[in-house]
Amino acid sequence: MNFEKYPFERLTEILSDVEGNGNYELSALTIGEPKFETPDFIQDTLKNSTELLKKYPASAGIPELKEAMINFVSKRFDVNLDFSQIIPTFGTREVLFNFPQFALFDIKNPVIAFTNPFYQIYEGAAIASRAEVIHIDLVKENDFKAELSAEQLKKCDLVVLNFPNNPTSASMSVQELGTWVEKALKYDFILINDECYSEIYFDENDKPASLLEASKLVGNDKFKNVLVMNSISKRSSAPGLRSGFIAGDAKILKEYMQYRTYVGCASPVPLQYAAAAAWNEESHVEYFRSIYKKNFELAYEILGVKPPQATFYIWLEVEDEIEFTRELYRQKNIKVLPGSFLGREGIGKGYVRIALVENAKKTEEVLKRLKDFIDG
């Protein structure tokens, strides 16, 4: 298999001959990893469950974890699932990689479509599945929203959306997602939405929608051909717990569950109990949201960047993203990620991704440095 280099490896390469300005503390705004302590109650649950390390974890997940995830979906999206409609996963990265291999295995010339720019695991899954790729280009002209022609849709076996979107920070309404559900039914392809940024939003009256809500909206109550993935990594500042889920079409999930018993990626039982505690609790999520909201208020005040509906990313338009990245590091000791590293066929060119994952004090300082550089 010939996998492309990860964006962060490419970033290291283009900065290898550049020395960051030592007059400033290094600020890495490149990776979408929250820089906050995992809440104590989650850590305590993990510590108090270590005696369960003596048990092999079941691939299907402990009932307490599935119930916590089902409760989350019910409270957040007003969608009621049963145990047949959800599978706990080892975060979302592993399922985003192995589910396409499972789903496309018996198809002679499989075709997968996914948003472009993208989280690179989508491309890796396509390569591992020997699938033809159709890029769903997210550009300024379409407000960074997903569109494909009827001819392209007819070819698709699997479509992966990602809204709220990494890296553009765009969102799609429940009605817009509903049209995608209708397309999945009309053209008979599996439709996935990677929703791991759904909980990093800033207006209680304008929360991002789930594809499950959209499926109900258009009358697809059994979620035929529809799946979503979500994770507590961003929501609970707990990426190390590796707790996610895939939910939706029970028929697909029944067969996928059998496949997963061979994959062997079940989460250790103590981690599952800690994850259940996290999925069941909301006040800590509200606290983290308040920090991200403050960060975007600072970004608007300092850079004039309009806050997105969700995510913690700025998709900043620049003239030359490679030169911008190199000079920003040289002059201000700030690292950002060139948008062209996250896209293909020219998509992402002329943008950099900035992750606002620090506290407000650090964010304000680095944004002022960034403003200085831009005005330079």
pLDDT for res 143: 97
**CA–CA gap between residue 174 and residue 180 (Å, rounded):** 10
Q: Which residues contact 345 (CB under 8 A, 6 or more apart)?
A: 116, 135, 137
Please give the pLDDT value at position 376.
83
Give the pLDDT score at 84. Answer: 98
Beta bridge partners of 246: 87, 229
Number of independent structural domains in the chain: 2
Is residue 48, in this structure, part of any structural domain at all?
no
Same domain assignment for residues 117 and 171: yes
Q: Are residues 191 and 267 in the same domain?
A: yes
Residue 105 maps to a domain: yes
pLDDT tens-place string over residues 169-227: 999 999 999 999 999 999 999 999 999 999 999 999 999 999 999 999 999 999 999 99
pLDDT at residue 1 greater than cutoff 90:
no
Q: Is the same domain home to 243 and 360?
A: no
Same domain, 277 and 343: no
Query: Is a pLDDT exceeding 90 seen at residue 264?
Result: no
- List pLDDT tens digits, range 96-147: 999 999 999 999 999 999 999 999 999 999 999 999 999 999 999 999 999 9
Quick check: pTM over 0.85? yes
The domain that holds 163 is classified in CATH as: 3.40.640.10
How high is the pLDDT of residue 14?
97
Residue ranges making up the domain that contains 174: 54-281
For 164-182, write each residue's pLDDT tens digit.
999 999 999 999 999 999 9
Separation of alpha carbons 191 and 202, rounded Å: 27
Mean predicted lDDT score pLDDT of the chain: 97
Query: Over the stretch 287-312, which tens digit does the pLDDT of each residue have?
Result: 999 999 999 999 999 999 999 999 99
Residues 104 and 243 in one domain: yes
Does residue 49 lie within any of the structural domains?
Answer: no
Residue 150, pLDDT score: 98
Residues 160 and 73 in one domain: yes
Q: Is residue 31 domain-resident?
A: yes
Residue the block writes with tokens 């649950």: 45
pLDDT digits (tens, 9 = 90+) for 65-79: 999 999 999 999 999
Please check whether residues 266 and 349 belong to one and the same domain.
no
Q: Can you tell me the mean pLDDT for 326-350?
A: 98
Domain stop point among 252, 281, 310: 281
- The answer to whether residue 318 is domain-embedded is yes
**Residues 173 and 320 reside in one and the same domain:** no
Question: If you average pLDDT over residues 50-69, what whole number do you get?
Answer: 95
Provide the pLDDT for residue 99: 98
The pLDDT of residue 4: 87
Q: At which of 258, 281, 304 does a domain end?
A: 281
Same domain, 323 and 262: no
Local confidence band at 267 (pLDDT 50, 70, 90 cut-offs): very high
Q: What is the mean pLDDT of residues 256-268?
A: 92
User: Would you say residue 2 has pLDDT above 90?
Assistant: no
